[in-house]
Amino acid sequence: MSEADFYYKMPHDRDDPNPFQAIFLDQSIPFNEEAKAVYLRDCSSRTRQFLLPLLRPFARLMIIVLQIYKSIVPKAFTSSKLLHRVLYWGMKNFVSPSANFMILRHFYLGSEVLQFIRDNVPGVQMTMNPLKPTNLEPVKDDLFLIHDLNLYNFIINLNRELQSKKLEVTKQDRLHFDAITSTRIPIEPLPKRWTNFLDLTTAIEIFTPIYQMFLTDNDFWRATNSLQLDETVGLYASKIIGSNDRLALINNKHPMVPMTTLGAGFRLVLHGLATEQLHALLVELKAKQESVQRIPS
């Protein structure tokens, strides 16, 4: 049975409807069907229901403590290599297959969204650094840090190109979808031992202070502020598409109003969902454009 079948075949009790089945069946939000089912089952896990409320206050307290510590000793125990080894070890041994699946998808889809924007701004010449992991091994090679750097470098290089060549991001009558994968993302089977029990949100809350501990204060602030760029990427895409009707669910808003680091874990989940929604919308538009092209004139 596929992940989606779990919700399609779930009995509907009118006196006790399942909230996650309702969200899954609702089609108002663009979302890959498999990823949506995986994410919602992850949301309904016992660790998210019972463990997350206990761990979240502790994790946020650790962020405050580390913020004070880093202001005194800004570069103590900083090592991106060690950080990513710890993240890899944690993901391999404690994070659930569904959560790891969503994390790897995020890097893959994020790279495709940026490539789509570049491909649909005529005249722009930019070197890209796509991240398309299909298993956990690439995590050890600074995957999370490079993901953040890619986003900042993309926006800086794109706008330098626009300004130097006097170009604009505008609606394109024919969109280029070569970067967008419409088939299943080839994520390999992930660790599924009895210890792999942490849901996505709980894992992110735990990993956030770990991320902060092994980075300089500047690197951590840069990483958390990158979440505010969801709105920026959404605006680029909406200009190219010529519509922003279904981009309204971006919650990491104005990039000129950075948030504190305390809510970084929760905002990171929103960041992942924003990427999923935008990519799913592009897959829909790709299918529509291809169907129109197949109609004989």
pLDDT at 294 over 90: no
The pLDDT mean for the chain works out to: 91
pLDDT of residue 248: 60
d(CA 55, CA 130): 33
User: What is the per-residue pLDDT across 95-137, written as a single tens digit (0 to 9) for each?
Assistant: 999 999 999 999 999 999 999 999 999 999 999 999 999 999 9
Contact of 58 with 24, CB cutoff 8 Å = no
Contact of 49 with 201, CB cutoff 8 Å = no
* Residue 183 identity: T
Contact of 245 with 237, CB cutoff 8 Å = no
Reading the block at residue 108, the tokens are 């893959």
Helix (H, G, I), strand (E, B) or coil at 181: coil
Confidence class for position 224, pLDDT limits 50, 70, 90: confident
d(CA 260, CA 129): 29
User: What is the per-residue pLDDT across 28-61, written as a single tens digit (0 to 9) for each?
Assistant: 888 999 999 999 999 999 999 999 999 999 999 9
pLDDT of residue 255: 73
Confidence class for position 154, pLDDT limits 50, 70, 90: very high
pLDDT of residue 296: 65
pLDDT at 241 over 70: yes
Closest CA to 19 of 47, 54, 49, 56: 49
pLDDT of residue 297: 55
- Mean pLDDT along residues 150-169: 96
pLDDT of residue 73: 82
The residues, any chain, with a CB within 8 Å of residue 170's CB and separated by 6 or more, are 239, 240
Between 231 and 103, name the one with better pLDDT: 103
High-pLDDT (> 70) share of the chain, %: 96
pLDDT of residue 246: 62
d(CA 265, CA 248): 21
What does 113-143 look like in DSSP terms, one character per residue? Answer: HHHHHHHTSTT----------SSSGGGGGTH
Element (H, E) at 275: helix 264-294
pLDDT of residue 78: 87
CB atoms within 10 A of CB 240: 20
Helices (H), 94-229: 97-119, 143-164, 200-214, 217-225
β-strand partners of 95: 198
Secondary structure letter of residue 172 according to DSSP:
-
Reading the block at residue 243, the tokens are 């519509």
pTM of this structure? 0.93
pLDDT of residue 26: 94
